[in-house]
Amino acid sequence: MSSKDLNTGAVVGVRGSVVDVRFDKCLPPVYSLLRAGENGQIVIEVLAQRDARHVRGIALTPTQGLARGSAVSDTGGQLKAPVGKGILSRMFDVFGNAIDRDPAPAGVQWRSVHRAPPPLARRSTKSEIFETGIKVIDVLVPMERGGKAGLFGGAGVGKTVLLTEMIHNMIGRQQGVSIFCGIGERCREGEELRREMKDAGVLPNMVMIFGQMNEPPGARFRVGHAALTMAEYFRDDERRDVLLLIDNIFRFIQAGMEVSGLMGQMPSRLGYQPTMGTELSQLEERIANTDTGAITSIQAVYVPADDFTDPAAVHTFSHLSASIVLSRKRASEGLFPAIDPLQSSSKMATPGIVGERHYGISQEIRRTFAQYADLKDIIAMLGLEQLSPEDRNVVARARRLERFLTQPFFTTEQFTNLPGKLVSLKDALDGCERILRDEFTDYPERALYMIGTIDEAKKSVKPDLPTPDGKPKPTATPESEGKREQPATTGGKPRQKARHAS
């Protein structure tokens, strides 16, 4: 297209990232991409047509140097993302530019990031379990192939660590493609993730795309759509299963809130945009299981001030097939992954999908944890000795289950010096069932902490066997084991421990 044929306009107002442009010849449609600046380095996406001559758009790049009267050209298209085999093992920004200091990828196509979700006629109706190799998730919160799972939690409870562990486990076991979408995260995390994935040998089947916190809200708002466009290519054209990891979906909502405020829309409850539900649905509905393949999504969800009634968390809950809630209390106790089994839930946890045995074991585990939670107040006030023998057994069982459901991760080996463990669903269920049947009452709780399969407990620690007179050796109670972790204090001073004869 010659310069004479270009549809050009002029800037009439700039307010931060919001730009108003006048076009006398032809008004660009919504989602059109406009370019301004000396070299066209300022990119603007049209979000509204204000009247017959004016459009209002949001800048996807910084707007330094833009002034009233600056020339703006209509590119005649929408924001596009690269797709094809050439994008594997690469890192991109929202415009599809490679940011890993390697040459631009060859042999790629460019597709618009604004695509409709697959029609209902193409969607698969089968419900299949997606194994992760992490015990507490596979047993209590099973994930769905082609579904969406959310990792909910405040800052510092382990969302990103759990996400990277799932990447490591799944790419090693599944012959699919993994796409990591960093929305509003730090460049340091992206660099570390790339190095870890390269060391693990899984980078050739992975694509990373980032819209970082230092970028304008428009770029963060569109990077999720660009990642989904890449995922849809592998699902529909290559007919491969795709694992889409989004860190963090709250930053997408936050970017939409910033864009909405800049566009002059009246905010709704707690300052969120009035169109939050629609914008989130446009993104989430494209993640689907079709007749050609499946896009399985795991999304980290930052919960502001640990408040699960926040509108961002509530709207995200409605789209998920599994909600994995991370607990700050469990993290402080060293129980990693710090997943709260009573708050977490999955739509897959039904007898018709996971089977009667799996369903029965998971329900019994939940009942045990619920009873233990009710007894904690009594233990704190009166002590473990005041409980009935049945209740003491429940407490011991729950504490052993808590420790067995911890697991050392491959991605944290360098920090913990514990080799990572990958546990099959069958082994995880066997271990839980044997603990519930009181097979490990003679073993100390520490034998079950940070292990893989249940047989590792038998190898590491010998049980407390009966004494020669036939009486069982006294074992440490759960309460005393918990107390042993910290020195007891009286009036703020450490209590002197009694000396025992050797």
Catalytic residue among 186, 195, 376, 459: 186
Backbone angles phi and psi of 198, in degrees to 5: -70, -45
Catalytic residue among 56, 159, 397, 421: 159
Question: Catalytic residue at 473?
Answer: no
Nearest residue to 223 (alpha-carbon basis) of 277, 176, 180: 180
Question: Catalytic residue at 159?
Answer: yes
Looking up tokens 């304008």, which residue turns up?
Answer: 216
217 Cβ neighbours under 8 A, 6+ residues apart: 17, 58, 255, 258, 259, 262
476-482 contacts, C-beta under 8 A, 24 or more apart: 476/444, 477/384, 477/392, 477/396, 478/384, 478/395, 478/396, 478/399, 478/445, 479/379, 479/383, 479/384, 479/395, 481/399, 481/444, 481/445, 481/446, 482/399
Cα separation, 95 vs 276, whole angstroms: 24
Q: Are 22 and 9 in contact (CB under 8 A)?
A: yes
Helices (H) and strands (E) in the chain, counts: 15, 20
Query: Residues 132, 134, 139, 140: is their CA dihedral positive or negative?
Result: negative
Catalytic residue among 45, 144, 185, 284: 185
Cα separation, 88 vs 314, whole angstroms: 34
Q: How far is CA 206 from CA 48, 159, 167, in A?
A: 36, 20, 9
Any idea what the Cα angle at residue 492 is, between residues 487 and 495, rounded to 5°?
45
255-258 contacts, C-beta under 8 A, 24 or more apart: 255/183, 255/184, 255/211, 255/217, 255/218, 255/220, 255/221, 256/221, 258/217
3-state secondary structure 190-222: HHHHHHHHHHHCCHHHEEEEEECCCCCHHHHHH
Catalytic machinery residues: 159, 185-186
